[in-house]
Every structure is written in structure tokens, then in C-alpha cells.
Amino acid sequence: MNFIIRTCFLYTILFMTSLPITAVMVPVYKMFLTVGLYDKIGGLILFLTATSMPYGIWLMKNFMDNVPVELEEAAWVDGASAFDSLRKIIAPLMFPGICVVFIFTFSGSWGNFFVPYILLQTLDKFPASVTLYQFFGQHGMVIYGQLAAYSAVYAVPSIVLYVLSQNYMSKGFNMAGAAKG
């Protein structure tokens, strides 16, 4: 869709993707203490969602730009509403892009060590990426057997997600012939 501040909005999104998390963690930490979100799983989820949205929006924009407008216009000519054309025409074509964005954002959040380590204090609330750090004991003592087992279990969700979405990601990237000019 075209709107007046589109370019400014997209450049703002692009700028937000370039900010490193470490640059904003001190103010975020202070804000979480002030607002009362420190050591709360909901606050961590909110922060990880907010920081992954600019990247997801920018990536989805690139996928959306490849969907021919003619397909949506043809659905309108056939009597479909804007919501119907979005649900029946655009969304199925966008599903590979949605899978890609989901995998990248999940991987970024699942493997993130720094943010949960700073924003959570209770050991029971630590996610798997921070719990993995607990296997490195004091004075350089490492429990290698448990570390290897936990690492294998830690990798399972990412592997399962990749295997399940691989079928969808390989389809739909080439929309050649979808609209003839």
C-alpha cells in the first residue's frame, strides 16, 4: 500500500535493524526496573518481540514486493473483498516468507544469551540458552557429559522447526508465470 510517510517509515525500520542490542541494554535494564518488568518472563518476551519486529518487517517487505499486484486486482475483479484477496491469494503466496521470518526470529530469540542473562535474575526463569551456561562450573570445571546431552536436547527445537518448514520454504520462491505482462 502507498501512504504518505512510507519512505520515512521504511528507513526508520531499516535504522532500527542496525542498532545492536548491546547499545540499548543499559536503558532497557533501567526501564525494566522502573516499570517492574525486571525478572519477568513476560517482559523478556515483550522485549525480544519488539527487537525482532523491525527485522521481520523489513524481511517481509521484500517478500511482499515480489507478489504481483495483478493477482490481487484480479481477485477484486472477480468479486473478492480486500480481506478475501488477502486471505485466499496473498497469504498462501506469502507463506514461504512467513516461514523464513519465523525461523530467523525464532533462531535469534532461542539462541539469545545476553538479553535473558541481563533481564532475568531467577535461575528457574532462565531460558535454555542461559541454562546451558550453568554447566560451566566455577574454577573452570566443566561437566562435559551433561553439557553434551543438554546441548543435544537444546538443538532439537531448531532442527524440528527446520525440518517442518523446509517443505514450505522450497515452494513458492519462484512466482514466475503467476502474472503475465
Q: Is the pLDDT of residue 74 over 60?
A: yes
Q: Mean of the pLDDT values across residues 120-149?
A: 87
Q: Give the C-alpha separation, 109 to 7, whole Å.
A: 28
DSSP letter at 87? I
In the chain, beta strands by DSSP E: none
Distances (CA, A) of 143 to 29, 111, 148: 32, 21, 9
**How much is the pLDDT for 135?**
83
Q: Is the pLDDT of residue 23 over 80?
A: yes
* pLDDT, averaged across the chain: 87
Residue showing cell 526508520: 12
Find the largest Cα–Cα distance for the chain. 71
Distances (CA, A) of 19 to 7, 15, 23, 102, 151: 19, 7, 7, 20, 29
**How much is the pLDDT for 78?**
92
DSSP letter at 174? -
The share of the chain scoring above pLDDT 70, in percent, equals: 90
Residues contacting 84, CB < 8 A, separation 6+: 75
Q: Could you tell me the CATH superfamily of domain 6-170?
A: MetI-like (1.10.3720.10)
> pLDDT per residue over 99-126, tens digit each?
889 998 999 999 999 999 999 999 999 9
Distances (CA, A) of 103 to 8, 43, 157, 164: 28, 22, 11, 11
